[in-house]
A = this chain, B = another copy of it.
Amino acid sequence: MFKPITIKDIAQALELSPSTVSRALSDSYEINEETKKRILEYAEKHNYRRNPIASSLRQGRSYSIGVIVCEVANSFFSQAIDGIESVAYGKGYHVIISQSHDSYEREVVNIQHLANRAVDGLLISMSAETKDFSHIINLHDQGLPIVFFDRIIDTFDTHTVTTNNREGAKKATQSLIDRGFKKIAHLANAPHLSITSERLEGYEEALRQNGIALEESLIRYCHHGGRIQQEVEEAVRYFLALPEKPEAIFVASDRLSMGCLSAYNNLAPKDRHPAVAGFSNSDVLDLLQSDFTCVHQPAFEMGRMAMELLIQLIESKYPVYDFDNVVLETELISR
């Protein structure tokens, strides 16, 4: 029904060859300024748009990259995506976003889908459920450039962008200790995530340095990253049922904080809510609980960096063997 104008049409109209037109449109130095101007003007006037599909097929590149995150409705990831896009658009790349919803199955399907869709590279933050990495390793082995951010696989030779999770967790826990709390619980993410163990370490270190004994019974994991509110509620019920209830909780993520505060709201009167500190990039969570202290990750910057590293990989003429593992610092926002 609608037939866009092609390079051939322009060539015909201007009595030139398609190659000349193609070159002029990509501003090749070989083309006479005069001719170039004529072509550009004609193209502009007739609203010519390069057909990216044909171009991709010819060049073997799609100028699009895929992003896999657990969900976009999450402050951290939406900010990271903004960072990714800020770089991508500038360099002529298109960003295709895909959500795993922290489900292993959907992650596999989506990654296949994207790879299949001929993206030039992948930006991945692992789903909480994923324990088997073969679907990613396969693609990587086949030569698809991949950069991990936030939730990484450490047994993987490629660029990564993370935050200093250990230090962030330590700061958050320390802030609770400074407020006089001793019995500090930890609501953790899925155990096999990179961020989980790092944040756990920071929590433990803070306790140790303050001479507080670590109690395993005060640590609860959420195997689906809080995707299922029930698992968070169970953890909260557990805390509430303890003979010695925690005075404070260090929560590992935004989503968990949300679920945790919500569960306490439902299950216990306000005066029995513990103090909470946790990782969060939300701009509303502090409203929920006015004394909510949060560890803020530089999400935008992380997205930016990850995208830049990915483009580096994609555009490198030679195989890259030297990988960057960027670690950015967190910021503690206390009230």
Instruction: Give residues in A with beta carbon < 8 Å to B.
Output: 1-2, 4, 49-54, 56-57, 62, 64, 71-75, 78-79, 81-82, 85, 89, 94, 96-97, 99, 109, 113, 115-118, 142-144, 258, 261-262, 265, 283-284, 287-288, 290, 319
Contacts and interface: CB of A to CB of B under 8 A. Distances in A.
Contacts of A96: 94, 96-97
A258 B4 CA distance: 44
A78 to B, nearest CB: 3
A62 B53 contact: yes
Given A53-B56, A96-B97, A262-B283, 17 more contacts: A1-B143, A4-B142, A49-B115, A50-B116, A53-B53, A53-B62, A53-B118, A64-B117, A72-B81, A73-B74, A82-B99, A85-B99, A89-B109, A261-B287, A262-B284, A262-B287, A284-B284
10 pairs of A and B residues whose beta carbons are closest in the complex: A2-B143, A73-B78, A72-B72, A1-B143, A2-B142, A53-B56, A53-B57, A97-B97, A49-B116, A53-B118
Interface centre among A49, A71, A117 (most CB of B within 10 A): A117
Contacts of A109: 89
Contacts of A72: 72-73, 78, 81, 97
Contacts of A74: 73
Contacts of A113: 89, 94
Given A262-B284, A265-B287, A94 B73 contact: no
A71 B74 CA distance: 11
A54 B52 contact: no
Contact of A319 (B1, B115, B142): B1
B262 A116 contact: no
A54 B51 contact: no
Contacts of A52: 116-118
Contacts of A53: 53, 56-57, 62, 118
A283 B72 CA distance: 15
Nearest to A112: B49
Nearest to A266: B287
A72 B72 CA distance: 6
A167 B133 CA distance: 49
A47 to B, nearest CB: 9
Contact of A288 (B85, B283, B284): B284
A1 B120 CA distance: 12
A293 to B, nearest CB: 17
A1 to B, nearest CB: 4
Nearest to A61: B53
A311 to B, nearest CB: 16
20 contacts: A1-B319, A2-B144, A51-B118, A52-B116, A53-B53, A53-B57, A72-B73, A72-B81, A72-B97, A73-B73, A85-B99, A89-B109, A89-B113, A94-B96, A96-B96, A97-B97, A258-B284, A262-B283, A265-B290, A288-B288
Interface centre among A72, A118, A258, A261 (most CB of B within 10 A): A72
Nearest to A97: B97
Contacts of A144: 2
A241 to B, nearest CB: 22
